[in-house]
Structure 1
Amino acid sequence: MTAKTQLKYPYHFDMVGSLLRTDALKNAHEQYDQQLITEDELKQVQHAETKKIVDKQVALGFKDVTDGEFNRNWWHLDFWKSLTGISQEFKTTVSFKGGGNKLHSAQLEGKVAYNPDHPFFETFQYLNSITPDGIIAKQTIPSPTLLFGTNWRDFYDDWDEYLNDLSAAYHDTILHFYQLGARYVQLDDTNWAFLISQLNATKDDPIEHQKYEQQAADAVRLINHILKGLPEDLTMTTHVCRGNFHSTYVFSGGYDVVADYLGKLNYDGLFLEYDSGRAGNFDPLGRIWNGDQNKRLVLGLVTSKSPELENKSELINRINQAAEKVPLENLALSTQCGFASSTVGNKLTQEQQWEKLRLVRDTAEDIWKD
Structure 2
Amino acid sequence: MNFQLDEDILLLKRGVRDFVQTEVEAAAMEIEESNAIPERIIAMSKELGLFGLSIPEEYGGLGIGMVGKCALYEEIGATHNGFTTLIGAHTGIGTVGIVEMGNEEQKQRYLPKMASGEQIGAFALTEPSAGSNATNLKTTAVRRGDKYILNGTKHYITNATEAGVFTVMAVTDPAKGPKGITSFIVEKDFPGFQVGAVEKKMGLRGSHSAEIIMEDCEVPAENVLGEEGQGYVNALKILANGRAGLAARNLGSCQKLLDLSMLYAKDRVQFDVPIFEHQAVSHMIAEMAMEIEALRSFTYRVAWMVDEGMKVIKEAAMLKLFGSEVYNRIADKAVQVHGGIGYIADYPIERFFRDARITRIYEGTSEIQKNIIAGQLKKQYQQQ
TM-score bracket, shorter-length normalisation? under 0.3
Which structure shows the bigger proportion of residues in helix conformation? 2
Structure with greater contact order relative to length (CA < 8 Å, sep ≥ 6):
1
TM-score normalised by length of structure 2: 0.22
